Amino acid sequence: MGKPTGFIDSGREPPERRPVTERRGDYREFYLPWGEAQAQEQGSRCMDCAVPFCHMGCPLGNVIPDFNHQVYKGDWKGALATLLATNNFPEFTGRVCPAPCEASCVLSINSDPVTIEYIEKEIVERGYENGWIKAEPPAERTGKKVAVVGSGPAGLAAAQQLNRAGHLVTVIERAGYIGGLLALGIPEFKLEKNIVQRRVDLMAEEGITFLTNINVGVDYPVDRLLSEFDAVCLACGSTQARELDVPGRDLDGVHLAMEYLSQQNRVLSGEQVSDEERIEAEGKVVVILGGGDTGADCLGTALRQGAEVVHQLELLAEPPDQRPASNPWPQWPMVLRSSPAHEEGGIRDYSILTKSFSGSNGKLEKLHAVRVEWQEGEPGTRPSMVEIPASEFEIETELTLLAMGFLHPEQDGMLAQIGVDLDGRGNIALDENRMSSVPGVFAAGDAARGQSLVVWAIAEGRETARAIDLHLMGKTSLPHSLPNHG
Ligand SMILES: Cc1cc2nc3c(=O)[nH]c(=O)nc-3n(C[C@H](O)[C@H](O)[C@H](O)COP(=O)(O)OP(=O)(O)OC[C@H]3O[C@@H](n4cnc5c(N)ncnc54)[C@H](O)[C@@H]3O)c2cc1C
């Protein structure tokens, strides 16, 4: 703890966001850079608690008080080493993580938590600027070959760890871009794609092979996958979107959020999209169904495309502003969350059930909905949804985006052909060694865990890499990552 009174002397001051009017005119990141003195002052707020709950909050077990101290002292290189010891990609988590570490920071009991996420970003960006982050090819190769299917954060973390353990790693990706949702889901205004590419280039320099536009199970037979590699890590994500089975769903103008977001990211990367395919919000009334992060990403994108007005509707009730007594610190606070995109415009509404869509000539014109009430039942049971009589209403809309979450990985194709067992939620079932029911086939990230977060995907990728190394070599020096695995 560099400065014993830091948390008394200074308040929480995150970096400033660019003005809303400027942001809405481009796809650049929300945040302005921090100055060094500001980052150091924020690092000084860490209390170096006897029990650092932030460790428990971070799925990667980041050694947060140590790097806060190093930042306060101006030891940026030391801070980088501390951070990289547990986190392969702080440049991603430092930008998009919802920061469960901050929710469990002890300061947040009666004050504002340390700005851990932004400190992370400052450390890693200084690492790149100063040339401290370099390719780290392994000193020796083991001769073992590992395939990683899927190039999202789980696949990338597994690939980097396995490569560092000396295995020859090939990442196989069906999209034309490496990065999974980092590249094609999360919008540029949260994570610019040159940040993803910078890391992919380093990993290629470390000796990892990246293959794109190869859909395993379609363009690449699973028999070949299983015979050519000594082990396989399935990091194929949770890509089966939750659908809305109501009349009119097939009208032109109703799209899944990922169709919309990934197209926009592809367009910004310079791809040409035909007029018939293009999903544009310009001049339209846009409705987003789903009040979560994906919905907020659609909101920010629609506003940048020039939507006339954007409604973001959520089926569940509006969360409280403050933690309820039943949700105390250090639990994740179940409170209303706003993304920077919410500062930019849009109308949020809650407890709304969409009943149908209508239109003419096959084109969407209206959304029909009803207001609902969530009634508490017996203790231990879920609240039940009741439609409020005479509360039906409609919104004239030409573009509606379904951002209602994801169910599980796509079960047909590759997974069915490999024959892995699924768990009760439809995800890839794993044993205590993170191996699936098929020997030598492991899994990581959303494909095994269900829809989650980048930080969890990295943690899962690291843990699965350790399990694969142990399986191949009978021993491993790769570290554990997941809290219940060591
Ligand atoms: C719009 C959106 C915004 C999000 N924003 C955030 C955020 O701000 N912060 C956060 O922490 N989390 C966010 N998330 C969640 C986060 O992105 C995911 O939890 C994370 O990317 C999961 O990583 P993964 O590697 O398991 O899978 P993914 O990132 O989904 O990657 C899986 C990859 O596997 C590939 N694949 C699938 N099947 C095959 C096959 N048969 N052959 C070859 N390749 C295949 C896919 O093309 C994909 O590239 C967001 C999610 C979405 C949808």
Q: 481: left (phi > 0), else alpha (psi -120 to 50), else beta? A: alpha
- Residue 372 per-residue DSSP state: E
Please answer whether residues 7 and 45 qualify as being in contact, where contact means their C-beta atoms are separated by less than 8 angstroms. yes
Mean pLDDT for 39-61 is 93
Q: Could you tell me if the CB of 301 is within 6 A of ligand 1?
A: no
Give CA–CA dist 82/63, Å, rounded.
7
Give CA–CA dist 429/423, Å, rounded.
5
Mean pLDDT for 83-104 is 97
Pairing mode, if any, of strands 393-396 and 384-387?
A: unpaired
Residue among 151, 157, 142, 201 at smallest CA distance from 171 = 151
How many other CB atoms are found less than 10 A from the CB of residue 369?
A: 23
Give CA–CA dist 423/419, Å, rounded.
13
- Residue 252 per-residue DSSP state: B
pLDDT band with cut points at 50, 70 and 90 for residue 119: very high
**Mean pLDDT (the chain, rounded):** 96
Mean pLDDT for 105-114 is 94
pLDDT in tens, 373-388: 999 888 888 899 999 9
What is 243-404's CATH number, 3.50.50.60, 1.10.240.10, 3.90.550.10, 3.40.50.970?
Answer: 3.50.50.60
In this prediction, what percent of the chain has a pLDDT beyond 90? 93
Ligand 1 atom index nearest CA of 220: 42
pLDDT in tens, 222-239: 999 999 999 999 999 999
Instruction: Please report, to the nearest 10 degrees, the dihedral formed by the alpha carbons of residues 87, 177, 259, 318 taken in order.
Output: 10
CATH architecture observed for domain 145-239+407-473:
3-Layer(bba) Sandwich (3.50)
pLDDT in tens, 11-24: 999 999 999 999 99
- Residue 428 per-residue DSSP state: B
pLDDT in tens, 146-163: 999 999 999 999 999 999
CB-neighbour burial class of residue 9 (10 A; exposed 0-12, middle 13-18, buried 19+): exposed
> Per-domain residue ranges for the chain?
6-129, 145-239+407-473, 243-404
Q: Could you tell me if the CB of 445 is within 6 A of ligand 1?
A: yes
pTM score, two decimals?
Answer: 0.97
C-alpha 261 – ligand 1 centre gap (Å): 13
Q: Which CATH class is domain 6-129?
A: mainly alpha
Mean pLDDT for 321-345 is 92
Say whether pLDDT at 251 is over 70. yes
- Non-local (6+) Cβ contacts of 430 within 8 A are 436, 442, 443, 448
Residue whose entry in the numeric block shows the structure tokens 């009334």: 285
**What are residue 386's DSSP bridge partners?**
373
Mean pLDDT for 53-79 is 95
Mean pLDDT for 291-307 is 97
Supply 147's token pair. 């395939």
Give CA–CA dist 434/442, Å, rounded.
6
**What are the CA-CA distances from residue 304 to residues 25, 264, 300, 310, 343 (Å)?**
6, 11, 6, 11, 13
Q: What angle do CA 485, 239, 230 make, to 5 degrees?
A: 55
Say whether pLDDT at 482 is over 80. no
Q: Could you tell me if the CB of 454 is within 6 A of ligand 1?
A: yes
**What are residue 311's DSSP bridge partners?**
287, 347
Q: Is the dihedral of CA 197, 200, 204, 205 positive or negative?
A: positive
Mean pLDDT for 269-275 is 96
Q: Could you tell me if the CB of 99 is within 6 A of ligand 1?
A: no
Mean pLDDT for 184-202 is 98
Q: Could you tell me if the CB of 460 is within 6 A of ligand 1?
A: no
pLDDT at 53: 94
The letter for the amino acid at 252 is D
Phi, psi dihedral angles at 15 (to 5 degrees) = -60, 155
- CA gyration radius, the chain: 23
How many other CB atoms are found less than 10 A from the CB of residue 270?
A: 6
pLDDT band with cut points at 50, 70 and 90 for residue 486: very low
C-alpha 55 – ligand 1 centre gap (Å): 24
Higher pLDDT, 195 or 324: 195
Same fold, 6-129 and 243-404: no
Q: By mean pLDDT, which of 150-159, 338-347, 476-485 is the weakest?
A: 476-485
Say whether pLDDT at 485 is over 60. no
pLDDT at 484: 53
Q: What angle do CA 323, 348, 261 make, to 5 degrees?
A: 105
> Hey, which of 236, 298, 415, 464 would you mutate to test ligand 1's pocket, going by the most ligand atoms within 8 Å of its Cβ?
236
Ligand 1 atom index nearest CA of 454: 11
